[in-house]
Amino acid sequence: MIDFKEVSLIYPGSERTVFDRVSFSVDEGEMVLVIGHTGAGKSSILKLINGIVPHHTHGILNGDICVDGRSTKDHKPGALSDLIGVVSQNPLHGFVCDIVEDEIAFSMETRGFTPDVMRKRMEEVLDLLSLSELRRRDIRTLSGGEQQRVAIASALVTQPRVLLLDEPTSALDPIAAEEVLAILNRLVDDLGLTVVLAEHKLERVISFVDRILLIGDSGDVAFDNTRAILSYSPIAPPLVELARVVGADEIPLSVREFRKNSFDIGVMEPRKASSNPSVIASLQDVTVIYDGFNKVSALRNLSLKVHEGEIVAIMGRNGAGKSTLLKSFLGLSPVISGDIRIKDVEPLKTSTEAISTLVGYVPQDPSDLLFATSINEECAISDEDHNLQAGTTLAIYQDLMDIPNVNAHPRDISEGQRLGLVLSIVLSRSPSLILLDEPTRGLDYEAKRSLVEILKRLSSEKNCAIVISTHDVELVSELAGRVIFVAEGEVVADGSTREILTASPAFAPQVVKAFPNSGALTLNDVKKLLSKRVGR
């Protein structure tokens, strides 16, 4: 179905070749996962398949790519739209309509479908992706995960033969991610749909895919079945890392496979509860209502306090009110009632400029915060604006991830690299309160580990309070000391990370599922337990 023959790609001004004489073939009815470090070229693979590269982007391309016998050199993306459906990494940038069902219908209208066919397919895809209740909602009022499901529905409704997805589960809660992947798997099995997806959260997808395309840092690729690639890949989900640590005979693709082997690692000692220092931020009886085509109550009399040096994770299903909660600390949400304070400042009565001296905020779409013409310039402006020593911001970026070229325009780097750049700018000034909305979208495991270390350092050394809205349970287990679970705009659980994550099968990290009675949350916890047993 998809054939790459001696494909090489380099972007103008780039210091490295993205791909060098790459050849591989994807069969019809196959689900393929593309993995690699942040910025390795995963999105470029997808753009090559549907012809965006080189027709709509700069890039020097050699070799040939054919999809169902059509060469992408001879067919532009529009000429391949009947064959290929695409879900981009940031779907909000691709929407053309305001209302959910209008956006889904637009995909069919551009293809000239008859009204009766459109109506039938609309109902099918709304049911398929659990969007019926959202059909008349304004897309701008949806959560990031809900927007992602709308984008997937818009791609599926035309019934393409090939579906390309860039980070399709990055903004989805664990339950929604499982549902979407199960749907894609069923379409592959029942209809012979060919799916190619790029994803960083490998723990969610490895049990669904047939083969993995591993992109190396030097432009080479490896393409083999899932278990074979994961047996040596430097990029691996926690479950695979866990199997390596305990010496499992075979690489597991699911928790069920892992638990077929008996591993006794002992039990963690309870962590001592730490005393809470002074409150740095609070929400008291806050209610937020979005006014529009449908009035939506995003927060309902919600109250919480965040203390100095505390790292808090806000979790919950898509649309639960997590992003709205973060924005409320800044006074950016339509607050109807309630009291908000950051130290002695009331955001609802204070200018945004004054608030920005106390708070660092990274939204789900960080690209809006970038305005310079190069990475180097963005970092230099950050240093100057916040009276930092020259090179401070760039040094944080270098800790987070590899930089392709400091002179590259921020719009020309990957989504994950842009997120890393904005994180570096915000973290460089060590604000009293740091608010991060889905901070690991587009970040590989190595970059996530670096982010965890930086945030822990800011918490302990600078006494910064950090609040993270995320679906990344593995990040939460490594980083947060406290978890607040939100549902329908209300706090339904608030406690230690161990208490909350071990109580929820859906939101539990893989280590908890693999060793449910050990008290271990992370890979490091397992290593500590194993070292104790060896030392006896």
pLDDT digits (tens, 9 = 90+) for 210-260: 999 999 888 889 999 999 999 999 999 999 999 998 888 889 999 999 988
- Partners of residue 221 on adjacent β-strands: 215
- Four-residue CA torsion sign, 341, 346, 347, 351: negative
pLDDT of the residue at 99:
93
pLDDT digits (tens, 9 = 90+) for 298-353: 899 999 999 999 999 999 988 889 999 999 999 888 888 999 999 888 888 888 77
At 132, the pLDDT band (50, 70, 90 cuts) reads very high
Tokens 């390596």: give the residue.
244
Does residue 75 or residue 402 have the better pLDDT? Answer: 75
pTM reported for the whole predicted model: 0.85
Burial class (CB in 10 A: 0-12, 13-18, 19+), 274: exposed
Name the nearest CA neighbour of 30 among 201, 264, 144, 192.
Answer: 192
Rounded-to-integer distance, Cα 36 and Cα 221, Å: 9
Query: Are the C-beta atoms of 363 and 393 separated by less than 8 Å?
Result: no
- Domains recognised in the chain with CATH numbers: 307-333+345-515 (3.40.50.300)
pLDDT of residue 264: 80
| Percent of all residues in the chain with a pLDDT value above 90, rounded to a whole number | 51
Pairwise CA distance, residues 75 & 78, whole Å: 8
Measured CA to CA in angstroms, residue 377 lies from 120, 361, 374, 388 at distances of: 51, 20, 5, 14
Structure confidence at residue 273 (pLDDT): 60
Strands 70-71 and 60-67 turn out to be antiparallel
Could you tell me which of 177, 170, 178 has the C-alpha nearest to residue 437? 170
Closest CA to 22 of 209, 215, 196, 164: 215
Three-state SS for 238-268 is HHHHHHHHHCCCCCCCCHHHHHCCCCCCCCC
Buried b (16+ CB within 10 A) or exposed e, 186-208: ebbeeeebbbbbbbbbbbbbbbb
Rounded CA separation 64/83 (Å): 18
Tell me if 328 sits within 8 A of 335, measured CB to CB. yes
pLDDT digits 0-9 by tens, 61-88: 899 999 999 999 888 888 888 899 998 8
- The structure tokens listed for 519 are 């008290």
Cα-trace Rg, the chain: 23
The pLDDT of residue 339 is: 94
| Whole-number Å distance between alpha carbons of 287 and 337 | 5
